[in-house]
């Protein structure tokens, strides 16, 4: 599946993965999307903006290889090359972890811009994993973005916060503040979607959420046991064996890179009668 | 009227439907206030009302209650002013 690294000039697209609300799947999605992009041959780096609550390193399975971090680079204590961790599974994937001890004020606009500018000369995609909330850390993560993936659960507080984030993306960011610049291309990624509950009217449908947020849909990730399983072992879900969630993330990645992929709504496969009678092998 | 009582019970509204309705009403207001804390003017309005009434009747700061009820089509502002009892106002 992995293709050779490209020899073309880097695309240098900055994509923020954000949501407002916590616990909706930002880090899981950042890990899955960046791994998916790298798997497709794109030179990809994923940056943890959650200063003080670093977690991307664990989700990516490189927590024991962190020496220098994003903040060290911003403050000039380490070079970018020293802080980047090369993924052990994919040749084209790098992780830039954040500091576990500093606070979010260590992120300065100038510092972030400098690091992003340097990364743009080497990478096709720069994925910014935003912290929850709308405070400084989240604002820094979105400020220089070209595109945004707004992770949303089909649940009232998550949708409300996503709407707020969409407002900030279109008013408080570098693109919003630069006259004549194209606005950030924002797309919604619906996660923890449970088709069975949607069918009986217990969960808002994809159409409901899109109607409220009025932005294009990047993908729908079904509620899946594969997510926790992948995070347990520190593997992005797209690299952790086939699952409905992995497939949905791969589709979302394809759409992110401009390929038209039909939206499929498959949930986790429910056990059939035969399986229920005789138990499952796995 | 019906023999089996099937039709008597209205099917319950799916909770997802309620969720969508609540969000649409709320977000319509939050967006119109452009992301800032909505109804910022309510405390100021309350202060002005108290000042205006105090010109004529002695009332305390807590005697005016301002409530907002946001609806889909229409929002209503409810202002409740508690005037002091006749005896109390004479004494004051």
Q: Is A207 on the interface with B (CB under 8 A)?
A: no
pLDDT in tens, A260-281: 898 887 655 555 666 566 654 4
ipTM of predicted assembly, 2 dp? 0.78
| Chain B hits for A156, Cβ within 8 Å | 19, 22-23
* Closest CA relative to residue A161, chosen from A185, A188, A194, A201: A188
Residue A200 in any domain: the answer is yes
| pLDDT above 50: residue B90 | no
Structural domain contains residue A6: no
What is the domain-level CATH number for residue A212? 3.40.50.300
pLDDT tens digits, B11-37: 788 999 999 999 998 888 787 765 444
Q: Is the pLDDT of residue A282 over 50?
A: no
User: Quick check: is A2 in a domain?
Assistant: no
Q: Which of A42-46, A238-242, B37-41 has the lowest mean pLDDT?
A: B37-41
Q: Which pLDDT score, from 0 to 100, does residue A93 have?
A: 98
Hey, is the C-beta of B27 within 8 angstroms of any chain A C-beta? Answer: yes
Has residue A173 been placed in a domain? yes
Residue (of A32, A282, A45, A15) closest to A169 by Cα position: A15
> Mean pLDDT across the stretch A230-257?
96
Tell me whether B30 touches chain A (CB under 8 Å).
yes
Of all residues in chain A, the percent with pLDDT exceeding 90 is 84
Instruction: Determine how β-strand B64-69 pairs with β-strand B76-81.
Output: antiparallel
Higher pLDDT, A45 or B89: A45
Mark yes or no for CB contact B14/A160 under 8 Å: no
pLDDT of residue B35: 45
Q: pLDDT by residue (tens digit) across A154-186?
A: 999 999 999 999 999 999 999 999 999 999 999
Distance in angstroms (rounded) separating the CA atoms of residues A244 and A147: 25
Q: What pLDDT is attached to residue B5? A: 59
What is the chain A residue with the closest CA to B13? Answer: A201
Residue A171 has what pLDDT?
Answer: 93
- Residue A125 belongs to a domain: yes
pLDDT-derived band at A5 (thresholds 50, 70, 90) equals low
Q: With respect to residue A1, please indicate whether it lies within any of the assigned structural domains.
A: no
pLDDT for B40-83, tens place per residue?
677 777 788 888 888 888 887 778 777 877 776 777 888 888 88
Query: What tens digit of pLDDT does each residue of A12-35 get?
Result: 999 999 999 999 999 999 999 999
Give the Cα separation of A211 and B24 in Å (integer).
9
Question: Which of B16, B20, B27 shows the shortest C-beta gap to A163?
Answer: B27
Q: Which domain, by its residues, includes A68?
A: 13-278
- How many angstroms away from the CA of B41 is the closest CA of chain A? 21
Indicate the average pLDDT of chain A: 92
What pLDDT score was predicted for residue B79?
83
DSSP state of A10: P
Pick the residue of B17, B29, B35, B37 with the most A CBs within 10 A to test the interface with A by mutation. Answer: B35
Nearest to B27 among A200, A204, A212 (CB): A212
pTM equals 0.81
Burial A131-159 (b: 16+ CB within 10 A, else e): bbbbebbbbbbbbbbbbbbbbbbbbbebb
Burial category of A184 from C-beta neighbours within 10 Å (exposed 0-12, middle 13-18, buried 19 and up): buried
Specify binding-site residues of A for ATP.
21-28
Q: Does A212 touch chain B (CB under 8 A)?
A: yes
Q: What is the pLDDT of residue B57?
A: 85
A227 occurs within a structural domain: yes
pLDDT single digits (tens) A84-137: 999 999 999 999 999 988 888 889 999 999 999 999 999 999 999 999 999 999
Quick check: A149 and A16 in contact, CB under 8 A? Answer: yes
Read off the pLDDT band of A3 (50, 70, 90). low
Residues of B in contact with A164 (CB under 8 A): 30, 35
Binding residues of A: 21-28
What's the structural domain count of chain A? 1
Contact criterion met (CB below 8 Å) for A260 and A46: no
Q: How many CA atoms lie within 13 A of A19 on its CB side?
A: 26
Of B16, B17, B35, the CB nearest to A164: B35
pLDDT of residue A192: 97
């Amino acid at each position: 599946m992995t293709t050779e690294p490209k020899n073309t000039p880097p695309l240098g697209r900055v994509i923020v993965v954000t949501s407002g609300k916590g616990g909706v799947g930002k880090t899981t999605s950042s890990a899955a999307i960046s791994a998916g992009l790298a798997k497709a041959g794109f030179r990809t780096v994923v940056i943890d903006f959650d200063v003080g609550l670093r977690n991307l390193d664990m989700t990516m399975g490189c927590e024991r290889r962190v020496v220098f971090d994003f903040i060290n680079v911003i403050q000039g204590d380490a070079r970018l090359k020293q802080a980047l961790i090369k993924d052990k599974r994919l040749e084209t994937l790098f992780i830039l972890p954040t500091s576990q001890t500093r606070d979010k004020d260590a992120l300065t606009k100038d510092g972030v811009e400098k690091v992003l500018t340097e990364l743009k000369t080497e990478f096709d995609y720069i994925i910014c994993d935003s912290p929850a909330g709308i405070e400084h850390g989240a604002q820094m993560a979105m400020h220089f973005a070209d595109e945004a993936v707004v992770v949303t659960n089909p649940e009232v507080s998550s949708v409300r916060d996503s709407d707020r984030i969409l407002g900030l993306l279109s008013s408080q960011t570098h693109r919003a503040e630069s006259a004549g610049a194209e606005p950030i291309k924002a797309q919604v990624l619906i996660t923890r979607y449970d088709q069975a509950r949607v069918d009986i009217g217990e969960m808002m449908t994809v159409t409901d959420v899109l109607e409220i947020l009025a932005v294009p849909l990047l993908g729908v990730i079904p509620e899946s046991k594969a997510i926790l399983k992948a995070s347990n072992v520190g593997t992005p879900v797209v690299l952790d064996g086939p699952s409905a969630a992995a497939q949905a993330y791969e589709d979302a990645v394809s759409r992110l890179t401009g390929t038209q992929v039909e939206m499929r709504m498959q949930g986790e496969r429910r056990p059939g009668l035969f399986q229920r009678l005789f138990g499952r092998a796995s | 009227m019906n023999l089996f009582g099937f039709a008597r019970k209205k099917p319950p509204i799916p909770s997802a439907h309620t969720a969508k309705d609540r969000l649409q009403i709320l977000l319509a207001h939050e967006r119109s206030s452009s992301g800032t804390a909505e109804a910022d003017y309510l405390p100021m309005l309350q202060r002005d009302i108290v000042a205006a009434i105090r010109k004529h009747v002695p009332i305390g700061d807590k005697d005016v209650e301002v409530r907002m009820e946001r609806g889909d089509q229409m929002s209503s502002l409810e202002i409740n002013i508690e005037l002091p009892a006749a005896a109390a106002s004479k004494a004051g």
